């Protein structure tokens, strides 16, 4: 009986392995098929945000250049799909990554500037997040003549020390509500960080709060003013101490495509080409 039981058990295990293999083969075939489709077309379809300078706006920017550099290493060209962000990140991922939109059409192959965040990744079951390529954070650009140093947000409690931010952004929300609204009277909201920086350059503000990349990118357009302004970390404990990681997203089944792009990204990092792309926009490259 023991011999028979062992034989039957072994047979059940063998059949189970055959079933698992059979079930996994279509998925593996689908992944390879997705990459073959992209390769055969010769085009990588890339979704990028509008109004996200210096990374992307109207189909141009650093994210577009990074995608083009990756595609070139794979022997591909890129087709850029610029879009306006929807109400939630889930909406963006559904429309641009895994399902598509009745007006915008089928999804792109990849989305640039996707958050590499554990919570988001657990919620989005249809999406594969991969290829982290930088880290961003909230910083302050300030007029060094007006504010030689900045070790806290206390100077923005003083009358006349106006600080700008993009309306409805995290910096705007922080300045409006933090520390019992102590800074709200000096907060000036703008349509974009770039407009806020322009106002600071004109002397209308003493500082602007935005992401480091947004501030550096806006100031890089005015090299003549470089010595008068300084960009530093926001001295407030309500913000993530290490910022957040930015990467890419694709449909869950596009594993082979993701692996190809990851290898290409590693080459960009190791060769220093990625850092040079950041430098072209006046940005500090921060490893993820």
- Give residue-wise pLDDT tens across range 207-248: 999 999 999 999 999 999 989 999 999 989 999 888 999 999
Adjacent-strand bridge partners of 208: 141, 164
pLDDT at position 19 over 70: no
Q: What's residue 240's pLDDT?
A: 87
- In this prediction, residue 32 has a pLDDT band, given cuts at 50, 70 and 90, of low
Give the domains, in start order, of the chain with CATH numbers.
34-136+244-280 (3.40.190.10), 138-233 (3.40.190.10)
The sheet carrying 138-143 orders its strands as 187-190, 163-166, 207-211, 138-143, 229-233
Q: What are residue 174's phi and psi, to 5 degrees?
A: -65, -50
pTM: 0.88
pLDDT tens, residue by residue, 174-186 = 999 999 999 999 9
Average pLDDT score over residue span 52-68: 98
State the pLDDT at residue 31: 55
Coil, strand or helix at 115: strand
Give me the phi and psi of 129, to 5 degrees please. Answer: -95, 135
pLDDT tens-digit series, residues 140-190: 999 999 999 999 999 999 999 999 999 999 999 999 999 999 999 999 999
Alpha carbon distance 43, 76 (integer Å): 5
Instruction: Write the Ramachandran bin of 90: left for phi over 0, alpha for psi from -120 to 50, otherwise beta.
Output: alpha
Task: Write out the two tokens for 210.
Answer: 């935005």
* Tokens, residue 74: 């794979």
């Amino acid at each position: 009986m023991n011999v028979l039981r062992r034989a039957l058990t072994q047979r059940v295990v063998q059949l189970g392995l055959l079933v698992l293999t059979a079930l996994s083969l279509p998925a593996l075939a689908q992944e390879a098929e997705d990459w073959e489709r992209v390769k055969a077309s010769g085009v990588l379809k890339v979704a990028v945000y509008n109004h996200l300078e210096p990374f992307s706006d109207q189909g141009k920017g650093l994210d577009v250049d990074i995608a083009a550099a990756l595609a070139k290493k794979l022997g591909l060209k890129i087709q850029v799909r610029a879009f306006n962000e929807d109400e939630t990140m889930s909406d963006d991922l559904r429309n641009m990554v895994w399902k598509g939109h009745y007006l915008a059409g089928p999804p792109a192959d990849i989305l640039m500037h996707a958050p590499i965040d554990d919570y988001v990744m657990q919620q989005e079951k249809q999406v594969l997040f991969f290829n982290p390529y930088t880290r961003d954070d909230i910083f302050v650009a300030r007029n060094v003549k007006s504010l030689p140093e900045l070790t806290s947000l206390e100077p923005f409690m003083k009358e006349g020390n106006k600080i700008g931010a993009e309306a409805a952004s995290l910096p705007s929300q922080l300045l409006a509500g933090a520390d019992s609204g102590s800074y709200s009277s000096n907060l000036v909201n703008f349509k974009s960080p770039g407009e806020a920086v322009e106002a600071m350059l004109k002397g209308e503000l003493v500082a602007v709060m935005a992401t480091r990349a947004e501030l550096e990118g806006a100031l890089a357009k005015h090299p003549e003013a470089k010595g008068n302004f300084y960009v530093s970390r926001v001295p407030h404990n309500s913000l993530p101490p290490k910022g957040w990681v930015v990467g890419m997203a694709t449909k869950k089944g596009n594993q082979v495509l993701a692996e190809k792009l990851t290898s290409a990204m590693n080459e960009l990092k190791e060769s220093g080409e990625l850092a040079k792309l950041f430098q072209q926009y006046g940005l500090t490259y921060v490893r993820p």
